[in-house]
Structure 1
Amino acid sequence: MPKIQAATLAEHRATQRNALLDAARTMLTAGQVPTLADVAARTGLARPSVYQYFSSRHDLLVAVMEDVLPRWSTRIAEQMSRAPDPAGRVIAYVAANIELTQEGEHAVARALATALPNDELAARARVLHDQLKTPLVTALEDLGDADPDLTAELINAIVHSASRLVDTGTDPATVKSRVEELLTPYLRR
C-alpha cells in the first residue's frame, strides 16, 4: 500500500486528485488531450491508481472542465469587483478574459471542446457563459444600458475575437489596449 502523504486519507485523496487534474490541465494547455495513462505517468502514479479517481478519460476531462471553468468565473468576478465604477468593471471583465487566455486557460477550453461530446460541452459552456455574463450585464445595467443582455453579447464577441488574437500570437497588452480604446467612448458616454 502506498504511503499517505497527508494528515488524513481524505486530504491525501484530494491532493492526488488535484495533481491528476493539474497534470491533465497542463497537457490540455499544450494542446494534448491526455489519457489516464498520460496523467498517471505525469504524476508518478500507477495507471490503475488513477482509476480510483476517474473511471474513464471522459470522466477525467469532465472533471478538468468542472475545475477550470469556475476558476475562470471567480477570477473575472474578483477582477471586476476591484474596479471603481461600472465602466471599469466592463473593462476589467475584458482584461481578465484576455489575461486568462494569455495564461493558457482558453487553450484548455479549446482542447476540451475537441475532446468532449458537443452536447455535453455545450450544456456546461452555457452554464459558464451565463455565470460570466451576469456580472457583465449588471455592470451594463448600472451604466444605464438600454439592452444590457444584447450589449453583453456584443462585448463577448469582442472578447472572443481578442482571445483568438492572443491565441495566435498578438501581444496581449496591445489587444487589451485596443479593446479598451474601442469600448471606452461607449462606456464613458
Structure 2
Amino acid sequence: MPKISAATVAEHRAARRRALLDAALELLAEAPEHAPGLGEVAARAGLARSSAYNYFRSRDDLLRAVVVDMFPRWNARVVAAMDKVSDPGERVLAYIDVNLQLVAEGEHAIVGALATFTPQSFTDENMLAMHDDLVLPLVDALRESGAADPELSADLISALLHKGTEMIESGRGFEEVRAAVRSALATASR
C-alpha cells in the first residue's frame, strides 16, 4: 500500500492535486506559449507521470482545472484589495490597481495562454459566470459611489483596463499604465 503524506487520504489527494495545479501554473508562467503535458507537470510536482493520471484524465483536463482554479484566486485578490479601503471611489481605484498588478505579474498572460490551449474551457456557462463574477465588486463600488448606471460604467472601466492590459503585456510599465488609467478616469469625472 502506498504511503500517504497527510493525515487522511483525502488530504493527501488534495495536496497532490494542488501540487499538480501549482506546477502547471509555474510551467505556464515560465513559458506561456507552451502547453505543458502531464509528464512535465508531474515531474515539476515531484510525482511520477502515471500519478498525474489519478487526478486528471488528460492535459486538457488539467489545463481546464488550472483555469477553474485561477478565477477565484484572481477574484480573491481583487476583493481583498478593495476591502482595504472604505471610500467607494477609492475602491474603484483599488479594483483597477490590483487588476493591472495581476497583469504585470503575468497572471493574465497565463489566462491568455490557457484560452489558446483550451478555448472550450472559456466558452461554457460556468466559465462565463466566473468571468462575470470578476466585475461584480466593481459594479458594487460604482453603485455605492452613486453612478447612474453602474453596469455601463463598469463596462467602460473594463474596456480601459483591457487597453491597459494590452499596454502592459506589450512592454509598458505597470506604474506608467496605472497612472494613465487613473488620470483618464479623473479627467472623465470632472
TM-score by length of 2: 0.91
Structure 2 residue matching 1:97: 3-state secondary structure: helix
> Does residue 19 of the first structure (1) align with residue 19 of the second (2)?
yes
Q: Structure 2: how far apart are the matches of 1:79 and 1:145?
A: 21
- Indicate the SS of the match to 1:146: coil
User: Which one has more relative contact order, counting CA pairs under 8 Å at least 6 apart?
Assistant: 1
CA RMSD in angstroms comes to: 1.6
1:97-150 Cα offsets, whole Å, 9 max, x none, are 0111112210111011001134x4133442123211111111111222122111
1:121 aligns with 2:122: yes
Residue 170 of structure 1 is matched in structure 2 by 172
Which stretch has the larger CA shift, 58-67 or 143-152?
143-152
Q: Give 2:62's match in structure 1, choosing from 52, 60, 63.
A: 60
Aligned residues of 1:73 and 1:128 also touching (Cα < 8 A): no
* Alpha-carbon distance in structure 1 between the residues aligned to 2:114 and 2:60: 10
2:97/2:178 contact within 8 Å kept = yes
Q: Which runs of 5+ in 2 are unaligned?
A: none
1:130 counterpart residue number: 132
Residues 67-146 of structure 1: pairs in structure 2 closer than 5 A: 67-118=69-120, 120-123=121-124, 124-146=126-148
Q: Which amino acid aligns with 2:91?
A: R
Cα offset, 1:186, TM superposition: 4.1
CA deviations on 1:58-111 (whole Å, 9 max, x unpaired) are 110111111111000111011111123111111111101011111221011101
Identity of aligned residues (%): 48
Letter of the 1:158 counterpart: L
Q: Which blocks of at least 5 consecutive residues in structure 1 are unaligned?
A: none
TM-score by length of 1: 0.92
Measure how far apart 1:180 and its partner are.
1.0
Paired residue type of 1:77: V
In the alignment, structure 1 residue 10 sits paired with structure 2 residue 21: no
Aligned AA (1:10): A
Deviations 1:4-51 (A, max 9, x none): 222222221111111100111112223121111111121221111111
Kindly state the Cα deviation for residue 181 of structure 1 after the two structures are TM-superposed.
Answer: 1.3
CA contact (8 A) 1:89 1:139 kept: yes
Contact 1:79 1:92 in 2 (8 A): yes
Residue identity opposite 2:51 in structure 1: S
Question: In structure 2, what is the Cα distance between the partners aligned to 1:13 and 1:168?
Answer: 39
For 1:122, give the aligned amino acid: T
Q: Distance in 2 between matches of 1:128 and 1:101?
A: 18
Q: Counterparts of 1:87 and 1:144 in 2: how far apart (Å)?
A: 10
